[in-house]
């Protein structure tokens, strides 16, 4: 099965005949707006449907930037950009590629969190598929309603755990839409290959059910057997209708996320970005360049014991075992604090969730994060709790007393949910911290030096992993592929990055980074015998040739 860009015909929808007139202007994948040439306007029935002046793509970009920068709030800018995406995807992605650092926070975290909260009020035009549990027995039929028939990546959510914002039900569609935009902007996947899907099984958010603008089913979440049968039907339908599609599970609640991944990853090419696609381990590996420590010597303390935290820990365990530790010794270096205190064996109260058990060590119960820091002396403090301001000044100062270069990751998204700000981390550690956050923070000036905080966001990971897996036709996406990607990402952190206090590459390099990660994934897929498409020994040129480039093509 090949994985190729749309070069054989004018229309990604199929066939070689380009739509004409208003049908062309309303096709976001093909529309060029005011950039249609005089010849194209005559040949394609556009004369009179557009203002007379012909603009270049570069001139259109300048007009977009001028209009965008006049918007006062990030949410207004998000609405403007998504409206542009629905009208002219080439122009949208050209703006994204040329101004990545400015655009990513608007299209994804932190702005997408606010957009999801208000998705009903700002709803303009549907994008993707909404499949509700009322359509049980008809999922294949609904998938076939999608007009593009060569889907390669599906990002699907049931909206139960959107970022750190909780159960947003059908309003969570902003996350799959945003993730697929990043696949194109960051890795070069053609936008026609992506399909965002929301599985609507209701919501336990009573405020949403009472909201007259809420877009989804106004009923409590369906759980248990009915939920499992619905998701199983969905997976079977995807395999039947889009057999070449990679399935990315996104923002499912803890009760379902681990189970769905384990049930499906072996028989459908799929992964869960929240569990597996962690960029935090790459940041940890890069931080060792500054601390001089060894991976196997680190002691990690997590605030938050959900899928993101245990996913980071699992990848750390994989890296540490490959560096010489036994699996049990590697797990013993990871500790968790959840809403009931330190995760330990025989803790009184509710039984521990299954995914926490491997990290429940023998230790006296402790109630607070501060107590855990004092007792365990961690070298790395990682926040994945969705609880803002929980890395308090005393905790940050204590981390700096325990470590010459404390590593502190406040990874909860959006920015409003971060465990601390970059400014707090630098100030309370006298500028010695190696800091990263899930959403971007502005540069911090402290002690006469300006620091550029790193962003430990999976935008560095999943586009390259997905692109590489598709390019080689991987039958399965393994943890080893994510570890290969994390290692390569850490290698791409330059001395110049570290001098700025940044333990991730600049987002201006994101397409280069995604390419390098894709190459690493292809190599691991070949090594493990999971690749089904033969690529050259050095696939770089091939992968570059397949990337979507945001340039207009000539239609006549």
Q: Residue 144: which CATH number?
A: 3.40.50.10380
Q: How confident is the model at residue 208 (pLDDT cuts 50, 70, 90)?
A: very high
Q: What sign results for the dihedral spanned by CA atoms 423, 426, 429, 430?
A: negative
Residues 486, 507, single domain; the answer is yes
Residue 395 structural domain: 280-456
Q: How many percent of the chain have pLDDT more than 70? A: 97
Residues 25, 112, single domain; the answer is no
Residues recognised as catalytic: 108, 179
With 0-12 / 13-18 / 19 or more C-beta atoms within 10 angstroms meaning exposed / middle / buried, residue 379 is: buried
Which of 105, 129, 154 represents a domain boundary (last residue)?
Answer: 105
Does position 2 have pLDDT exceeding 80, yes or no?
Answer: no
Query: Running DSSP on this structure, what letter comes out for residue 345?
Result: T
Residues 110, 100, single domain; the answer is no
Judge whether 46 lies within some domain.
yes
- Residues contacting 191, CB < 8 A, separation 6+: 29, 89, 93, 180, 181, 184, 548
Judge whether 554 lies within some domain.
no
Judge whether 56 lies within some domain.
yes
Judge whether 194 lies within some domain.
yes
Which of 272, 300, 316 represents a domain boundary (last residue)?
Answer: 272
Residues 482, 426, single domain; the answer is no
Whole-number Å distance between alpha carbons of 431 and 449: 9
Residues 252, 384, single domain; the answer is no
Domain harbouring 335, CATH code: 3.40.50.720
Residues 162, 217, single domain; the answer is yes
CA distances from 135 to 149, 407, 410, 517 (A): 21, 48, 40, 38
Judge whether 186 lies within some domain.
yes
Query: Running DSSP on this structure, what letter comes out for residue 36?
Result: -
Residue labelled with tokens 């609507």: 200
Residues 290, 432, single domain; the answer is yes
Does position 330 have pLDDT exceeding 60, yes or no?
Answer: yes
Residues 220, 255, single domain; the answer is yes
User: Is residue 186 classed as helix, strand or coil in its secondary structure?
Assistant: helix
pLDDT digits (tens, 9 = 90+) for 430-456: 999 999 999 899 999 999 999 999 899
Residues 44, 151, single domain; the answer is no
Residues 66, 196, single domain; the answer is no
- Residues contacting 116, CB < 8 A, separation 6+: 162, 163, 165, 168, 171, 172, 173, 174, 175
pLDDT digits (tens, 9 = 90+) for 363-375: 999 999 999 999 9
Q: How confident is the model at residue 277 (pLDDT cuts 50, 70, 90)?
A: low
pTM: 0.93
Predicted confidence at residue 12, as pLDDT, reads 43
Judge whether 488 lies within some domain.
yes
Domain harbouring 44, CATH code: 1.20.1370.30
Residues 144, 53, single domain; the answer is no
Query: Among 215, 115, 109, 201, which residue's Cα sits nearest to residue 159?
Result: 201
Buried b or exposed e, range 380-419, using 16+ CB within 10 angstroms: bbbbbbbbbebbeeebbebbbebbebbbbbbbbbbbebbb
Residues 471, 441, single domain; the answer is no
Domain count, the chain: 4
Which of 78, 105, 132 represents a domain boundary (last residue)?
Answer: 105
CA distances from 204 to 106, 123, 133, 210 (A): 28, 21, 15, 11
Segment 51-60 mean pLDDT: 98
Query: Among 495, 380, 497, 513, which residue's Cα sits nearest to residue 458?
Result: 513
- H helix or E strand, kind and range, residue 537: none
Give the pairing type, strands 341-342 and 270-272: unpaired
Predicted confidence at residue 16, as pLDDT, reads 53
Give the pairing type, strands 449-451 and 444-446: antiparallel
Judge whether 9 lies within some domain.
no
Predicted confidence at residue 11, as pLDDT, reads 39
CB 372 within 8 A of CB 397: no
Give the pairing type, strands 407-410 and 434-437: parallel
Of the listed ranges 35-49, 221-235, 345-359, the least confidently predicted one is 345-359
Peptide bond into 381 cis (omega under 30): no
Q: Which two tokens stand for residue 1?
A: 């099965």
CB 251 within 8 A of CB 175: yes
Judge whether 298 lies within some domain.
yes
Query: Among 150, 105, 88, which residue's Cα sits nearest to residue 550?
Result: 88
Average pLDDT of the chain is 94
Does position 14 have pLDDT exceeding 70, yes or no?
Answer: no
């Amino acid at each position: 099965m090949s994985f190729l860009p749309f070069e054989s015909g004018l229309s990604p929808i199929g066939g070689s005949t380009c739509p004409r007139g208003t049908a062309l202007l309303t096709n976001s994948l093909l529309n060029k707006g005011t950039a249609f040439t005089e010849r194209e306007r005559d040949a394609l029935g556009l004369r009179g449907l557009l203002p007379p002046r012909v603009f270049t793509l570069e001139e259109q970009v300048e007009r977009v930037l001028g209009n965008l920068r006049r918007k006062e709030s990030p949410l207004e800018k998000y609405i403007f950009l998504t409206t542009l995406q629905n009208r002219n995807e080439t122009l949208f992605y050209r703006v994204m590629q040329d101004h990545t650092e400015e655009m990513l926070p608007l299209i994804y975290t932190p702005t997408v969190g606010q957009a999801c909260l208000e998705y009903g009020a700002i709803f303009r035009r549907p994008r993707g598929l909404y499949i509700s549990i009322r359509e049980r027995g008809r999922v294949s039929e609904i998938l076939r309603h999608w007009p593009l028939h060569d889907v390669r990546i599906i990002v699907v959510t049931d909206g139960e755990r959107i970022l750190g914002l909780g159960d947003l039900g059908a309003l969570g569609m902003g996350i799959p839409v945003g993730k697929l935009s990043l696949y194109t902007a960051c890795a070069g996947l053609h936008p026609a290959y992506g399909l965002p899907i929301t599985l609507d099984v209701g919501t336990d958010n009573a405020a949403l059910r009472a909201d007259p603008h809420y877009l989804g089913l106004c009923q409590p979440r369906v759980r248990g057997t009915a939920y499992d049968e619905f998701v199983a039907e969905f997976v079977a339908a995807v395999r039947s209708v889009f057999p070449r599609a990679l399935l990315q599970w996104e923002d499912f609640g803890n009760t379902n996320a681990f189970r769905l991944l384990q049930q499906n990853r072996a028989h459908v090419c799929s992964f869960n970005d929240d569990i597996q696609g962690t960029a935090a381990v790459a940041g940890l590996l890069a931080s060792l360049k500054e601390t001089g420590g060894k991976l196997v010597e680190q002691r990690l303390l997590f605030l938050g014991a959900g899928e993101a935290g245990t996913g980071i820990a699992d990848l750390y365990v994989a890296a540490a075992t490959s560096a010489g530790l036994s699996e049990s010794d590697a797990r013993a270096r990871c500790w968790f604090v959840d809403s009931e205190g330190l995760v330990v064996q025989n803790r009184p109260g509710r039984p521990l969730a299954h995914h926490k058990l491997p990290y429940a060590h023998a230790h006296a119960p402790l109630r607070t994060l501060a107590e855990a820091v004092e007792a365990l002396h961690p070298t790395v403090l990682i926040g994945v709790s969705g609880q803002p301001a929980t890395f308090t000044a005393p905790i940050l100062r204590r981390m700096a007393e325990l470590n010459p270069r404390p590593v502190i990751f406040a990874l909860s998204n959006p920015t409003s949910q971060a465990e601390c700000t970059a400014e707090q981390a630098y100030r309370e550690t006298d500028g010695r911290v190696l800091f990263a956050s899930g959403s971007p923070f502005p540069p911090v000036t402290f002690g006469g030096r300006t620091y550029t905080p790193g962003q430990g966001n999976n935008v560095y990971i999943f586009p390259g992993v997905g692109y590489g897996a598709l390019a080689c036709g991987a039958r399965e996406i393994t943890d080893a592929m994510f570890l290969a990607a994390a290692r390569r990402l850490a290698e791409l952190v330059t001395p110049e990055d570290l001098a700025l206090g940044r333990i991730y590459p600049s987002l201006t390099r994101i397409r280069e980074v995604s390419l390098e990660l894709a190459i690493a994934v292809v190599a691991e897929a070949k090594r493990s015998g999971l690749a089904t498409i033969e690529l050259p020994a050095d696939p770089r040129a091939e992968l570059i040739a397949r990337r979507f480039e945001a340039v207009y093509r000539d239609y006549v």
